[in-house]
Amino acid sequence: MSAPYDDISGEDLMLRDRLAAERTVLAAERTFLAYVRTALALVAAGGSFVYFLQSPWLTALGWALVAAAAATLVVGSWRFSVARSRIARLTALPPEERP
C-alpha cells in the first residue's frame, strides 16, 4: 500500500503542507507516548500479579501481561519509526534549502 503523497517531491510542498506534516509528526509522537503509557500500565499490572498474588494461574497471567507490554512497546516503536520515515521522505528539503 503506498502513501498518498509518494508521487509528490518535497520541492512541490507549500507552507500549509509542511505545517500539516509537522502536526502529523506531533500526532505520531503522541501516539508513541500512548503506546509507552500502555506498556508501563501492563508492566505494573503484571508485576503486581506476580508479586502480590500466590495463585499459579494469576502468576502466569502476570507474566503474560509483562510479555504483552514488551510486544506493545515493540509494535509502537516500529509504527512510530515507519510514520517518521514516511513524513521525512515527504518533507525532504532540496539541497539548496538545507541549512
- Among the listed residues 72, 75, 69, 73, the one whose alpha carbon sits nearest the alpha carbon of residue 49: 69
Does pTM surpass 0.85? no
pLDDT at 16: 75
pLDDT score of 99:
38
* Alpha-carbon gap, residue 54 to 62, rounded angstroms: 11
Q: Which of 8-12, 21-25, 37-41 has the lowest mean pLDDT?
A: 8-12
Question: Which band of pLDDT confidence, cut at 50, 70 and 90, is reported for residue 34?
Answer: very high
The full set of domain ranges for the chain reads 29-92
Give the residue among 6, 4, 11, 28 at the shortest CA–CA distance from 82: 28
Instruction: Give how far the C-alpha of residue 83 lies from the chain's centroid of Cα atoms, to the nearest Å.
Output: 8
Instruction: Return left, alpha or beta for 74; rule: phi > 0 is left, psi -120 to 50 is alpha, else beta.
Output: alpha
What values do phi and psi take at 54, rounded to 5? -100, -10
pLDDT in tens, 49-71: 999 998 999 999 999 999 999 99
